[in-house]
Every structure is written in C-alpha cells, then in structure tokens.
Amino acid sequence: MPHLDLDLDVVSLTAALCDIPSVSRDEDAVATAIEDALATLTHLTVTRHGNTVVARTELGRATRVVLAGHIDTVPLTEPPNLPTTRTTRTTVEPAELVGRGTVDMKGGVAVQLRLARQVTDPHVDLTYVFYEGEEIDGEFNGLAHLAADHPDLIAGDFAVLLEPTNGSIEGGCKGTLRADIALLGLAAHSARPWNGHNAIHDAAVVLDRLVAHQAQTVTVDGLEYHEALQAVGISGGIAGNVIPDRCVVTVNYRYAPDKSGADAVAYVRGVFDGFDVQVQDNAPGARPGLDLPAAKAFVEALGVPVGPKEGWTDVARFSALGVPAVNFGPGDPNRAHADDERAPLQQFVDAERAMLRWLA
C-alpha cells in the first residue's frame, strides 16, 4: 500500500499525493494512505465514511474551524500526466510541479495534512475533511454524504475549502441555476411549412432576450459578484426535411449569493416571461461571511488579497449548513483540469505558511 510521510515538505507531500492516482470513483488507495498517516497523530480522532476521511481535534475550544478538500481528480491524460515532474526555474517561469492533481487539488490536501501534522495545540478546534467524489455528479460527493448522514462531523463556526485560488482568498460563491426553455411547434414537411409551425424560429425571441439581457453586479458582504445569464445549450430538429415541432434552449443563471434559490427561479421566469421555463437544477450560492469574527481573523492573519468566488464550489454546502466558508488554496484555477496542469512550488509553501500564521 502507498505510504504518506507527513514530515515531508509540502511540495514533496503534494507530489506524493498526486502520485497515488485517485480519479473519481477510484479514491480507495489515497483515502487509505491519508487515513493511515493521520492515525499516527494522537491529537486527532479519525473516522472514515466510504472514501472520505475526517480527523478532528477535541480540545473543547469555543470555536471550531473546518478545513476541507476533495481527494479525487479528473481523469489522467493519455499518455498519463503522472507521475509528477518538477520544472526548474527559468528567466520567465518559476519552478513548477507538473501533473494531474497539482492544482485541483492535491496541493490543498497536502497543506491540510501538513497542518494536521504540525498544529497539535491550536487556539480553535479543528476538523479536517478529505472527501471523495467532487469532480463528478453531486450524488457521489463525499461532503454531501457527510452533510446528509453525519452533519455533526462537519459542523463548525467557519470553514476553509482549500480549492485553488491562486493564493488569494475567495469568499462565498455564486449560485447556479439551469433551466430548459422549450418551444413547441407543429411538425410538417419542410416543402410545405405552412402546414406546421417552426419551433426553432420561435427560439429567436429567447435568444434575443439573452443577447439583450444586462447581467447585474451585486455587492454582498463587501465583495462584488458578477452575475451571468447565458445559453449553454440549444437543440431542435429531427430530420432535414421536417419543420421541427420542438426546440429547447438551456440557460445557466449564475447569481449573487444574496439571492435565494427561489429568488433565482423568479428572476429567470421574469426574463423569459411568456415561455415554458423548466428548472433542471438549482444550487444557491454562499455568502462570503467576511463580516463574521472568525472570518475576519482568518483574513487578517493571512494578509493576502480577498475577492469573490465567481464559480459555484462546495463552500455552498457549508453555507447550507449555516457554516460561513471561504476558498483558499495553491494553484491557478484556470490551470485546473488542463492537460498540462501545473502550479508554482512557491504557492504550496506560501499557502502552508499563511495557514500556519492563522492557526499556530
């Protein structure tokens, strides 16, 4: 079985974690390695649920902070972009760690493990969550499983999700709603369209409204969130000689975290008033909560730039449990999932140091 040495420096530990491949649904080896490594730390109580591992201090502190990261990755490239390699610094590029998981998000996991190893007597109680199934359908999400089955294990006053943020703090996240707008016509032979009604032509108005739509920028707890309403899919037509009787436009609304899920539904229905809007999925965002004392202490201790998180992340799962949460981790999110996924070595070191400034 692979073994993890938590006394390694954070870069080497990131490489070791990456070199245990853990594509979604195949996290057993890395989960076991993490569980075994944590089991040697007597200040932590370790429990496992599927391939999700939770380690907690139980010091009776007034505040509990949750540090969470997923241990799965998207699939490897062909040929595989593992094991990891290191580049040397050039005049234009820093030294980097290259390979699947270096950005999303074995670096964050390595920081968690290094903190677990070093922070034995923190001023707050700490919960470390290493969870499976983040990169695939929500039904497999280990954090969602904990929230449903063992919410006590992830309860806390403040949470940090160590997803890549390029070293800055990204607060909260936008919500995301997907809806289908179905246009219904009447099929006919395309040589005699006057016998039917073209559903694709009816989609013109829907697209016109999308093009004309002015997305809002909303300030929540001091951070500016840029909303967006965009088509992400359109389909219609069954044959080259048939007037289509159905066309579906799929829209995605990314909304500021001051809106509830119901607010978002009402907004989209308003934009497409008069049309058949069917909501397919809807996940509200998370307020950054940067006005809360625990969050303020975190921001002050780290001393790094603070901005909004535009994409939806699992911080919203904490938010839904009443736990304010932020994103902070090494790696540029634009490099996540890329074939040449890579991150500067210095970012791993800086992230570990920043977290130690806060917790130690």
Binding of a second copy by 312 (CB under 8 A): yes
Give the residues across from 325 on adjacent strands: 159
Q: How does DSSP classify residue 227?
A: -
- Residue 205 is which amino acid? V
Q: For residues 44 and 38, what is the distance between their CA atoms, to the nearest angstrom?
A: 7
Binding of a second copy by 241 (CB under 8 A): yes
Give the residues across from 327 on adjacent strands: 161, 170
Q: Which whole-number Å values give the CA distances from 332 to 81, 95, 329, 335, in the listed order?
A: 18, 14, 9, 5
Residues 262-281 that bind a second copy (CB under 8 A): 280-281
Binding of a second copy by 176 (CB under 8 A): yes
Q: Report the DSSP pairing between strands 188-189 and 242-243.
A: antiparallel
Residues 200-239 that bind a second copy (CB under 8 A): 200-201, 203-204, 207-208, 210-211, 226, 228, 230-237, 239
Please say which residue, 137 or 273, places its beta carbon nearer to a second copy: 137
Minimum CB distance to a second copy, residue 148 (Å): 23
Known catalytic residues are: 72, 134
Contact 184, 278 (CB under 8 A): no
Q: Which stretch binds a second copy (CB under 8 A): 8-16, 32-40, 156-164, 193-201?
A: 193-201
- Alpha-carbon dihedral angle through residues 76, 233, 236, 184, given to the nearest 10 degrees: 140
CA-wise closest residue to 265 among 205, 138, 178:
178
Minimum CB distance to a second copy, residue 178 (Å): 5
Please say which residue, 132 or 227, places its beta carbon nearer to a second copy: 227
Please, what is the end-to-end C-alpha distance for the chain in angstroms?
32
Minimum CB distance to a second copy, residue 192 (Å): 5
Minimum CB distance to a second copy, residue 206 (Å): 9
Total residues contacting a second copy by CB under 8 A comes to: 44
Binding of a second copy by 77 (CB under 8 A): no
Please say which residue, 1 or 232, places its beta carbon nearer to a second copy: 232
- What are the DSSP E strand ranges found in 13-56? 45-49, 52-56
Q: For residues 100 and 18, what is the distance between their CA atoms, to the nearest angstrom?
A: 7
Binding of a second copy by 56 (CB under 8 A): no
Contact positions vs a second copy (CB under 8 A): 174, 176, 178, 189-194, 198, 200-201, 203-204, 207-208, 210-211, 226, 228, 230-237, 239-244, 247, 249-250, 252, 254, 280-281, 310-312
